[in-house]
Amino acid sequence: MKSIASAPGKVILFGEHFVVYGIKAILCAIDKRVKVTSSTTESNSIDIKSNLGSISIPKSKSLDELKSPLLPFIYLSKKMIHRFDHPGGISVTIDSSIPSGVGLGSSSACCVAAAASISGLFNHFSKDEIVNLAIEAEKTIFKDTSGADCSVCTYGGIIEYDKENGFKKIESSLNFPLVIVNSGITHSTNKVVKKVNEFKKKNELIFSSLCEKETELVNKVILSLKNNDFTSLGKIMTQNQEYLEKLGVSNSVLRNMIEIANKTSFGSKITGAGLGGCIISCVDESNLNPTLKNLQSNNYDCFPVKIDSKGLDTF
């Protein structure tokens, strides 16, 4: 028995860091994908292969005994083996076109695709069930995950998310391209989140003011998306970047990338935790190639993406 599933990566368009403190964030799925192929086997082992490495363990081995970036996939395999009383093992292969460790949702997309692929060996699960399985799996490596990334990787398109109300899809016919620029600097999201929390404790009034401004900004974004007002989004990105600079999550490399991108794009900002990872630039067909050319001439790793409206796909 074989089961295949594919899920897209994501970017945070607006609201990173502020979302931790109850402000809405806007995320979208992108057309970079991960594919997971699962098979039942007659062995008593769980075998995982990916670009992060490979692992083969007895299916009876406890999760508490393991320390591996592949833990989410072992968790999902063990859960399905137990739930459906499978007498054999499971083999899982992960193929990803999403750069890892730079804030593009690689781990969440992998968890979503793996949840669908592995569970698909035994039964057809709804997307609601898949996203819950994916969040459970991701929590084996990121205990404080909000579920926002797994949600947008499952359902696709553009979503708004906040801690109190969860996610809601934003209906928009816009399918604008984005340019993603990879700094090549990996980062620890947890460390950057802690850095922002330290800023908040030392600058309560400034942080409170920034939260209010971010709320106003995100409301403008939602209105622009619903009205298909594309050109305003670039300006809002530039404004959001100013707030992220004040939080201290930027650096000279990211600033230089943004400065170069903004010579031709409508606006740019950090996406994700910051202090490394990627920036995104808002473009259309008229300035897409000039923006890519400018960045490439400065030896930056960059590529265009579009919004992925499909989300999780199974085969």
What DSSP string runs through 100-119?
SSSSS-HHHHHHHHHHHHHH
How many C-beta atoms lie closer than 10 Å to residue 126's C-beta? 8
List the one residue out of 161, 160, 185 whose CA is nearest residue 170: 160
Beta strand pairing call for 278-282 and 158-162? unpaired
Domains, the chain: 2-171 (3.30.230.10), 178-305 (3.30.70.890)
pLDDT tens figures, 109-165: 999 999 999 999 999 999 999 999 999 999 998 887 888 899 999 999 999 998 888
Q: Dig out the tokens for 57 from the structure.
A: 């363990």
pLDDT in the model for residue 80 = 97
Confidence of residue 47 (pLDDT cuts 50, 70, 90): very high
As to burial, measured by CB atoms within 10 angstroms (0-12 exposed, 13-18 middle, 19+ buried), residue 212 is exposed
Confidence of residue 167 (pLDDT cuts 50, 70, 90): confident
Examine the pLDDT at 58 and tell me if it is beyond 80.
yes
Residue 1 · residue 16 · CB < 8 Å:
no
pLDDT tens figures, 259-312: 999 999 999 999 999 999 999 999 988 999 999 999 999 999 999 999 999 999
The long-range contacts involving 137-140, CB below 8 angstroms and separated by at least 24 positions, are: 137/72, 137/73, 137/75, 137/76, 137/111, 138/72, 138/107, 138/108, 138/111, 140/63, 140/71, 140/72, 140/75
pLDDT in the model for residue 225 = 84
Q: How far apart are CA 59 and CA 40, in angstroms?
A: 12
Residue 229 · residue 173 · CB < 8 Å:
no
Radius of gyration of the chain (CA): 20
Q: Which helix (H) or strand (E) holds 3?
A: strand 2-14
* Range 49-73 average pLDDT: 91
Examine the pLDDT at 73 and tell me if it is beyond 90.
yes
Q: What is the pTM of this model?
A: 0.92
pLDDT in the model for residue 224 = 85
Q: How far apart are CA 35 and CA 37, in angstroms?
A: 7
List the one residue out of 1, 6, 86, 8 whose CA is nearest residue 309: 8
- Which residues are 181's β-sheet partners? 279, 302
Q: How far apart are CA 114 and CA 263, in angstroms?
A: 40
Q: How far apart are CA 214 and CA 222, in angstroms?
A: 12
Catalytic residues, by residue number, are 149
Q: What percent of the chain has pLDDT over 70?
A: 100
